[in-house]
Chains A and B, each alone.
Chain A
């Protein structure tokens, strides 16, 4: 069981939202769009220039910048860790 912030997650990993830190200006809009605690999400990809990132949750895809993603704490699903490692290895090859 590992808790990290959303911006630190890798492509292919998924997890469950633990908390949305109250400081971001867009905090309320994120909550309203369903980025609420106990929701599970998955990182789909990062933009070609590394930022923003695309995540999948509640059946739709959301684009969010890393700096805002840093406000979202995720309980990482360890099983998906392996997927991400494998993908990373593929990309390096």
Chain B
């Protein structure tokens, strides 16, 4: 290796072993950490400085139990280690991050990585939990047996990180030949495959061996839809047949041989614990996964969250509101009257302020979601929901992306990568945006306030939970429909690790909330800012002198657009002004709120009306009120089901690698939203509601 070449280090290990935590300590970055399998779903890179001052690239990878990969996220690990990932060089060092409380299973992956014959360091993470169980690991002995450096670590406290950096700054050690062996017939068949792979696929010996063992342990079903070409497939079938005749299980042969090696390595290295394992977790689970209390707990948690959203959050929201009002006042005082001043007060401040005000509510929502992710509740939710998900043809793991989508559909859609079956992953992606995300929160809060102006917080909480339930119901029903029509397939098997509960660090939760609110504010400062300016212009031009503000708005460009679509949305109970908001909301849902504040600010001639008051006063031309309870409900239902988010569309496009699915998604959700709102409004009118 030349002196100035930047070295690359890859972090590899089982899911949830703490790879991202180690990555964050090494690179001082802040990638998402969480206490369940499948938090990291794509390759992430960063830079670090070693003890000798040398700069090094660090790659964080998704977790995997094996290099014989089954899902999209696991494939990234295979591709990086085998050098198949475009734009990423094969790593010079591999850091295997192991969960020290669970060495046997973790070492299975070590044995696979060992086969690659790359320089490697072993990190025994979570030493604190090991000690809490009264266990110990003889690091010296393990190191001696393996011939590989072993570093004990507590990544969350940064313990052991310096020792790791020290080792990485030394010259890479030469790799050892393979220390484990299979039965003779297996060895022979594998050797045959190795020769073929070296010749026909141009692999070097270690890679060819790794691939050969992976191939031979796979069954025909698995090989059929993987890139096994005709010739390789014939070779494999021959090998399986010969082994079966000799009574050797080709499926188990290599796996058992590896576990035998693991046993030998760990013999006398781990001292058994005195204390009972996972005591706290057992006690908590007895309640949280209880037949009755489990459901009760989840409902209570959600209810508590909404109560906070409607009580605690209102104070800072009032402050923010007052702040923006004062800002508008200030601008009015210092600037001469004119279009520019109006643009700033009625366009920018009303638009951006109308959104930023919801920050406190969104922070509370994100606090609860990161609590679910960091404590380990997420995996429990998958456990509890698997039976239900099974009946619609998905499995419990699909529930994790759905639950994450409560925050935002984008991480939800991304985390679907950990689902093995392509079809099921697609179904999950298609329904994830039906889950009520944080961008809907401002819209719902506003509509709830109009619908039930004098209701207690309990009433509002009830409505909110109902809306969330509607979203979940929609997602489940649509998943059921897709699994039976477009994306038919068998119900996938479900196996998942259940981690112990872990205390989330305050720092990690704060960081997560800060990251999310930064994104939220950035959106308010860019997209919504720009949109507010454009909208303001559309509403104020062409100029009409000497008419009332309301008439001028009607004759403006925005008014004309609204008028154009009014016939389409009138059956849902909406007029052209709501139409303007709806058109805008297809870029991002919360734009509906900012648009409404601009429309009604202008339409009612400005003044000191709060948005709610302006809404209550809004009328149809014949003088009947616009925002009747029925219209509010119809709007809520529309927002529950419609796909109104450019960023989600872009992510779905990236994740599915085609425009077909995002377009399909926009259309089906649009039809769903329109139909549901139509049924609510027209149905309500038939039974005599207003």
Contact = CB atoms under 8 A, between A and B. Distances in A.
B526 interface: no
B493 interface: yes
Contacts of B104: 34, 58-59
A89 interface: no
Interface string A41-70: 000010111111010001111111100100
A37 to B, nearest CB: 7
B438 interface: no
Nearest to B104: A58
Interface in B70-105: 70, 101-105
B291 interface: yes
- Residue among A32, A36, A65 with the highest chain B CB neighbour number at 10 A: A32
A26 interface: yes
Nearest to B498: A61
A34 B495 contact: no
Contacts of B101: 59-60
Contacts of A45: 285, 289
A36 B387 contact: no
A20 interface: yes
A48 B384 contact: yes
Interface string A6-47: 000000000000001010111111111110110000000101
A33 B105 contact: yes
Interface of B: 65-66, 68, 70, 101-105, 108, 217-219, 221-222, 249, 251-252, 255-256, 259, 277-278, 285, 289-291, 294-295, 379, 382-384, 386-388, 390, 396, 493-499
Contacts of A50: 387
B388 A24 contact: no
A52 B218 CA distance: 25
Contacts of B65: 29, 32-33
B255 A24 contact: no
Nearest to B382: A63
B545 to A, nearest CB: 68
A53 to B, nearest CB: 9
Contacts of B105: 33-34, 58-60
B639 to A, nearest CB: 31
B277 A36 contact: no
8 contacts: A31-B252, A47-B384, A49-B388, A59-B102, A60-B102, A62-B497, A63-B382, A63-B495
B238 to A, nearest CB: 19
B225 to A, nearest CB: 12
Contacts, number: 115
A32 B66 CA distance: 7
B285 to A, nearest CB: 7
Contact of B255 (A25, A32, A49): A32
A29 B70 contact: yes
Given A20-B252, A29-B495, 16 more contacts: A29-B65, A29-B70, A31-B255, A32-B255, A34-B104, A34-B108, A47-B289, A47-B383, A47-B384, A59-B102, A59-B105, A60-B102, A63-B382, A64-B494, A64-B495, A68-B494
A28 B217 contact: yes
Contact of B387 (A26, A34, A49): A49
Contacts of B251: 22, 27-28, 31
Contacts of B108: 32-34
A51 B391 CA distance: 11
Given A26-B495, A47-B384, A62-B497, A36 B256 contact: yes
Given A54-B383, A54-B498, A48 B290 contact: yes
A39 to B, nearest CB: 8
A24 B493 contact: yes
Contacts of B383: 47, 52, 54, 63
Contacts of B259: 34, 36
Contacts of B493: 24-26, 65, 68
Contact of A60 (B68, B255, B497): B497
A58 B428 CA distance: 32
B673 to A, nearest CB: 31
A88 B358 CA distance: 51
B494 A65 contact: yes
A31 B217 CA distance: 11
B36 to A, nearest CB: 12
A51 B390 contact: yes
B39 to A, nearest CB: 17
Contact of A28 (B222, B289, B295, B384): B222
A63 B496 contact: yes
Contacts of B285: 45
Contacts of A48: 289-291, 294-295, 384
Contacts of B388: 49
B277 A59 contact: yes
A10 to B, nearest CB: 16
A33 B102 contact: no
Nearest to A48: B291
Q: Which 8 A-B pairs have the closest CB atoms?
A: A49-B387, A61-B498, A26-B493, A32-B66, A58-B104, A31-B255, A34-B105, A63-B496
Nearest to A50: B387
A58 B66 CA distance: 16
B501 to A, nearest CB: 12
B386 A62 contact: no
B498 A28 contact: no
A56 to B, nearest CB: 8
Nearest to A54: B498
